[in-house]
Every structure is written in structure tokens, then in C-alpha cells.
């Protein structure tokens, strides 16, 4: 075994002390490695064999500067003045082989001053879910945090019942959240807020000139991100402002789910009782979240009235960004490379038919590209009528629509019932399905015969109706 080297270069640890609490992880009983993401490790410049002790938090690697990050946030619209890493620690940062700074974070690493009630631990199920789903999102081309390692802790965590514990190593281009800005604005810590602003600009938006410009750039990335989620049927499930990253990456895979049958009002999260974060609501909620970011950025500008006016304009402009991003993504899904405003109606009619017929979201779009989507619809006559209008529209395109559709419509997504089966097996010590899912989801636009069972929608008795944060 060759000793591992992680080329740490920690910049967050040099920010004002009020932004974090320095501490080490709490060791676990018997670490054993479940998964190691070798391609990601290579990207990060990490050499040598992974030591389970490091990824369980039992050993602090050389050069790390572990700390828990402070943040606040609106949870389901309610202000929570202090959240923070209650079960996670930033080990440190590396500059990857493309020159991008990346965070390496342990999740499930023990209590911190921000834990409040929780034990600071993570159960195996949520760790494996985050591993599989975040890596699947990456393979789909959607900006996201990544999974570097998963380790069994050899300890139990007590939830509704005792469960095996685990630690996830997450990689992000940063863990700066809307809630990180919010906590400093709320506490009127102007100097720390300025330092965080400078750090964020330097790290993610080096050409940004002022806070209004930063807001505009973040809204652009978030509009693109949400349009990408919608285009694959992804429901984040907990779009609180503390789970909304300035980088524009998907973060926090707690109660997330991909839908099987298309339903714009679909909600999986057991705690989302009013459907605040339902599938189609995501496009509205992200605007609300950006309004909270705008509010937190106002103290950075000398003239408050002018700042509010400029920020409001940016937030109000987000609807247009979202509509354009949605149109581009969904046009591609039906083979249109050059979107026109009137295509929105064509897509809307298709989605209505899918909703009415409870069509499988993923398989319907995939079948459209193969020319055999008719079976997915209950009202075949209505589909035939739609299809003929669609074909007429496609005649005006200059490229091959079927080829485009096969590169944007995945054949496979991480289906909820497979995730649940994977977790149940792993709780019994069998990681076969976990590894199989990771391998299949790494190439989501391929459809090998051997993975037919993973592409199939759930049978009635396999259907998952609710997901849980499971923290």
C-alpha cells in the first residue's frame, strides 16, 4: 500500500474566525471502505491508496485544516438564524488538475457546536443514496457536488430504529450557500460579509465587478441548474436557502428523488407537506431563494435604496432566464436544436398528455427518440395528433433530431425503488446493487441489454411514495 497524499491548499480557513469553528472529526469504531471514486481522486491530484481511517475521520491527513462551517437559512420559508455543519467537517481544499479549487468534506463525522439536537452522524442509507445520486447527476452533465468515498463506521446510529452508520466524503467547488451570506447579514457582521463576498467572487466569478453583478451571475447559473433538474425529472425536495450553493451546483441529496410517472405536482419528501418544493414549484422557489440572497448582499453597497432597486431588477429578470433555459432543454428533448417561442406550447401539450396518461417521464422521452413512444400514452389518438404536429415542426430543423434526442434523454436514472432496494441490501452487508447502479449510471445515455431491469419503472408494489431526510 502506498501512503496517500492529498495536496491541500486551504483558503476558507484563512477567512475571519466568525465564519467557522475549527475542530477534528470524532473517531468511529471500525472503519471499512465501501467505495472509492478513483477517477475523481485523480482529478483532484490525490495519489496513493485510500486509507479508510482518513475517510472515516479517525486520522487527520497531513495538510488538512478541519472546520465546521457556519450558516443560517430559510427552511420551508421560515428563518432559522443558526444552522451550520452539524454533522460535517470541511477537511480542506485542493486545486484540481484543471486549476479549480475544490472542497473535501466529511459528512457524518460527529458533533460540532452547530449540531444542536443531532448526533452528528449519518446512517448508511442516506450516504449511499447521496453517493449514487450525486454521481448520476454528474454523469448526466448536471452541476453537482461529487462523492469521493463512502466508509462504514462499524457503529450504529439511532434513528426510528438503530441503523448502520457511515461517513461520506463529499467534494464541492465550494460549500458557500445563500445561508452563509444570510447569517453574516443578519448578524450585521459587515467585515466578515465583505470577506466572504471577496472570497466567493475570487473563487467562482472572478470577472464580477460588484454585488449586483454577483447576484446576476448566480441567478443565471441557478436558472440553468433548475432547468436541468426539470429536464430529467429531478425533485430536489429541500430547496432551503442553506441548501442553495453560490457555485450553482446541486447540493444536499437528503430527500431528493427522480420521478417515474410524470406529475408536475409530485412531492416525495415526507416533510414537504404543502408541496413547497414540488417538481414544477422548483422554478418559483429558486426565484424566492435568489431574493433572499439579494437581501443578504444589500449591506455590501453604500447606497441601500439604489442597491435594493438594482437587486430587485435582477430577481425580477429571473423568470425570463428560467423560461429560456427550460425551453432550450425541453426543445432538445423533443429533437429541436433551434428553439422558438411557440415551441413552448408544443412541449406543454405533450406534457399534458403525459400527465393525463401517467406516462413514465424518462422512458417516454427516450422512446420519442426511437419513434416508439405511442405505447406510453393512454389516449393514443391525442398522441397521434400531437405527433403529426411535432413531425411538421421537425421538418424545419436542419440537423438529425433522433441523434440529438439520444444524447439528451437518458436511458437510465436512479429510480427510487432501486435506491431503496440498494439500501436494504447494503444494510444486510450486500453492496452488489450499489456497485451495479454506480456502474450503470456512469453512462446514462447507453442502454445495454444487461441493464434492462434498471430502466424499468417500478411495479405497483415497488413504488416509493415518500423519501426521508434520514439524518
Residue ranges that bind ligand AMP, judged by CB under 6 A? 83-87, 114-115, 118-121, 238, 242-243, 252, 254, 469, 471
The 3-class SS string of 371-420 reads CCCHHHCCCHHHHHHHHHHHHHHHCCCCCCHHHHHHHHCCCCCCCHHHHH
- Per partner kind, with CB cut-offs from 5 to 8 A, the member of ligand AMP, Mg ion, none near residue 65 is none
| Closest by CA position to 247, among listed 352, 109, 144, 357 | 144
Whose Cβ is closer to Mg ion: residue 249's or residue 260's? 249
Q: Measured from the CB of residue 21, what is the shortest distance to ligand AMP in angstroms?
A: 12
Residue indicated by cell numbers 484540481: 96
- Per partner kind, with CB cut-offs from 5 to 8 A, the member of ligand AMP, Mg ion, none near residue 93 is none
Q: Is 112 in the site for Mg ion (CB under 5 A)?
A: no
Residues tagged active-site: 242
Q: Measured from the CB of residue 383, what is the shortest distance to ligand AMP in angstroms?
A: 40
Which string of x and - marks every residue 165-194 that binds Mg ion (by CB under 5 A)? ------------------------------
- Per partner kind, with CB cut-offs from 5 to 8 A, the member of ligand AMP, Mg ion, none near residue 120 is ligand AMP
Cell of 153: 463506521
| Count of CA atoms in the C-beta half-sphere (13 A) of 307 | 17
Q: Measured from the CB of residue 29, what is the shortest distance to ligand AMP in angstroms?
A: 17
- Per partner kind, with CB cut-offs from 5 to 8 A, the member of ligand AMP, Mg ion, none near residue 333 is none
| Closest by CA position to 215, among listed 283, 312, 76, 142 | 312
- Per partner kind, with CB cut-offs from 5 to 8 A, the member of Mg ion, ligand AMP, none near residue 471 is ligand AMP
Q: Is 243 in the site for Mg ion (CB under 5 A)?
A: yes
Q: Is 451 in the site for Mg ion (CB under 5 A)?
A: no
Whose Cβ is closer to ligand AMP: residue 121's or residue 329's? 121
Q: Which stretch binds Mg ion (CB under 5 A): 134-142, 247-255, 377-385, 396-404?
A: 247-255
Q: Which residue is nearest to ligand AMP (CB)?
A: 118
Q: Measured from the CB of residue 252, what is the shortest distance to Mg ion in angstroms?
A: 4
- Per partner kind, with CB cut-offs from 5 to 8 A, the member of Mg ion, ligand AMP, none near residue 210 is none
Q: Measured from the CB of residue 265, what is the shortest distance to Mg ion in angstroms?
A: 24
At a CB cut-off of 8 Å and minimum separation 6, what does 451 contact? 412, 440
Q: Which residue is nearest to Mg ion (CB)?
A: 252
Whose Cβ is closer to ligand AMP: residue 184's or residue 367's? 184
With CB under 5 A as the contact rule, the residue among 135, 224, 252, 260 that binds Mg ion is 252
- Per partner kind, with CB cut-offs from 5 to 8 A, the member of Mg ion, ligand AMP, none near residue 119 is ligand AMP
Q: Measured from the CB of residue 240, what is the shortest distance to ligand AMP in angstroms?
A: 6
Whose Cβ is closer to ligand AMP: residue 179's or residue 211's? 179
Q: Which stretch binds Mg ion (CB under 5 A): 29-37, 190-198, 250-258, 348-356?
A: 250-258
- Per partner kind, with CB cut-offs from 5 to 8 A, the member of Mg ion, ligand AMP, none near residue 410 is none
Whose Cβ is closer to Mg ion: residue 121's or residue 393's? 121
Q: Is the dihedral of CA 236, 433, 420, 470 positive or negative?
A: negative
Size of the site for Mg ion (CB under 5 A): 2
Q: Is 130 in the site for Mg ion (CB under 5 A)?
A: no
Whose Cβ is closer to Mg ion: residue 137's or residue 354's? 137
The 3-class SS string of the chain reads CCCCECCECCCHHHCCHHHEEECCCCCCCCCEEEEECHHHHHHCCCECCCCHHHHHCCCCCCCCCCEEECCCEEECCEEECCCCCCCEEEEEEEECCCCCEEEEEEECCCCCCCCCCCCCCEEHHHHHHHHHHHHHHHHCCCCECEEEEEEEEEEEEECCCEEEEEEEEEEECCCCEHHHHHHHHHCCCHHHHHHHHHHHHHHHCCCCCCHHHHHHHHHHHHHHHHHHHHHCCEECCCCCHHHCECCCCECCCCCCEECCECCCCCCCECCCCCCCCCCCCHHHHHHHHHHHHHHHHHHHCCCHHHHHHHHHHHHHCHHHHHHHHHHHHHHHHCCCCCCCCCHHHHHHHHHHHHHHCCCEHHHHHHHHHHCCCHHHCCCHHHHHHHHHHHHHHHCCCCCCHHHHHHHHCCCCCCCHHHHHHHHHHHHCCCCHHHHHHHHHHCCCCCCCHHHHHHHCCCCHHHCCCCECCCC
- Per partner kind, with CB cut-offs from 5 to 8 A, the member of ligand AMP, Mg ion, none near residue 121 is ligand AMP
Q: Which stretch binds Mg ion (CB under 5 A): 248-256, 321-329, 351-359, 373-381?
A: 248-256
Whose Cβ is closer to Mg ion: residue 249's or residue 252's? 252
Whose Cβ is closer to ligand AMP: residue 114's or residue 205's? 114
Cell of 127: 450516504
Q: Measured from the CB of residue 178, what is the shortest distance to Mg ion in angstroms?
A: 11
Whose Cβ is closer to ligand AMP: residue 247's or residue 471's? 471
- Residues near Mg ion (CB under 5 A): 243, 252
Amino acid at each position: 500500500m502506498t501512503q496517500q497524499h492529498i495536496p491541500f491548499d486551504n483558503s476558507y480557513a484563512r477567512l475571519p474566525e466568525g465564519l467557522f469553528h475549527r475542530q477534528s472529526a470524532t473517531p468511529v469504531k471500525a472503519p471499512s471502505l465501501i467505495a472509492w471514486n478513483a477517477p475523481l481522486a485523480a482529478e483532484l491530484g490525490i495519489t496513493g491508496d485510500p486509507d479508510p481511517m482518513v475517510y472515516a475521520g479517525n486520522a487527520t491527513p497531513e495538510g488538512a485544516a478541519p472546520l465546521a462551517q457556519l450558516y443560517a437559512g430559510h427552511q420551508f420559508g421560515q428563518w432559522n438564524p443558526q444552522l451550520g455543519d452539524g454533522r460535517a467537517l470541511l477537511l480542506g481544499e485542493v486545486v484540481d488538475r484543471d486549476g479549480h479549487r475544490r472542497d473535501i468534506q466529511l459528512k457524518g463525522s460527529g458533533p460540532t457546536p452547530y449540531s444542536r439536537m443531532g448526533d452528528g452522524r449519518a446512517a448508511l442509507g442516506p450516504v449511499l443514496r447521496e453517493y449514487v445520486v450525486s454521481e448520476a447527476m454528474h454523469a448526466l452533465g448536471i452541476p453537482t457536488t461529487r462523492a469521493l468515498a463512502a466508509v462504514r463506521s462499524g457503529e450504529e446510529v439511532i434513528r426510528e430504529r438503530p441503523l448502520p452508520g457511515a461517513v461520506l466524503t463529499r467534494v464541492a467547488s465550494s460549500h458557500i450557500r445563500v445561508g452563509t451570506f444570510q447569517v453574516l447579514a443578519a448578524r450585521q457582521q459587515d467585515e466578515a460579509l465583505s470577506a466572504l463576498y471577496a472570497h466567493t467572487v475570487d473563487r467562482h466569478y472572478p470577472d464580477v465587478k460588484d454585488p449586483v453583478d454577483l447576484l446576476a451571475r448566480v441567478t443565471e447559473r441557478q436558472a440553468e441548474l433548475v432547468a436541468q433538474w426539470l429536464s430529467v425529472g429531478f425533485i430536489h425536495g429541500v430547496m432551503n436557502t442553506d441548501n442553495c450553493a453560490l457555485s450553482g451546483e446541486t447540493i444536499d441529496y437528503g430527500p431528493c428523488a427522480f420521478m417515474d410517472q410524470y406529475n408536475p405536482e409530485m412531492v416525495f419528501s415526507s416533510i414537504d407537506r404543502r408541496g413547497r418544493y414540488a417538481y414544477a414549484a422548483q422554478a418559483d422557489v429558486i426565484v424566492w431563494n435568489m431574493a433572499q440572497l439579494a437581501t443578504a448582499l444589500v449591506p455590501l453597497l453604500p447606497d441601500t435604496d439604489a442597491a435594493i432597486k438594482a437587486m430587485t431588477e435582477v430577481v425580477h429578470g429571473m423568470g425570463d432566464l428560467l423560461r429560456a433555459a427550460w425551453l432550450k432543454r425541453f426543445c432538445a428533448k423533443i429533437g429541436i436544436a433551434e428553439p422558438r417561442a411557440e415551441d413552448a406550447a408544443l412541449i406543454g401539450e405533450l406534457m399534458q398528455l403525459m400527465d393525463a396518461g401517467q406516462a413514465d417521464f424518462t422512458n417516454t422521452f427516450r422512446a420519442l427518440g426511437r419513434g416508439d413512444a405511442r405505447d406510453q400514452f393512454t389516449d393514443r389518438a391525442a398522441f397521434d395528433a400531437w405527433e403529426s404536429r411535432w413531425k411538421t415542426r421537425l421538418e424545419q430543423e436542419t440537423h438529425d433530431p433522433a441523434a440529438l434526442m439520444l444524447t439528451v434523454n437518458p436511458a437510465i436514472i436512479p429510480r427510487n425503488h432501486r435506491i431503496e432496494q440498494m439500501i436494504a441490501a447494503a444494510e444486510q452487508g450486500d453492496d452488489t446493487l450499489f456497485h451495479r447502479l454506480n456502474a450503470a449510471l456512469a453512462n446514462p445515455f447507453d442502454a445495454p441489454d444487461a441493464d434492462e431491469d434498471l430502466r424499468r419503472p417500478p411495479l405497483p408494489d415497488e413504488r416509493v411514495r415518500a423519501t426521508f431526510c434520514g439524518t
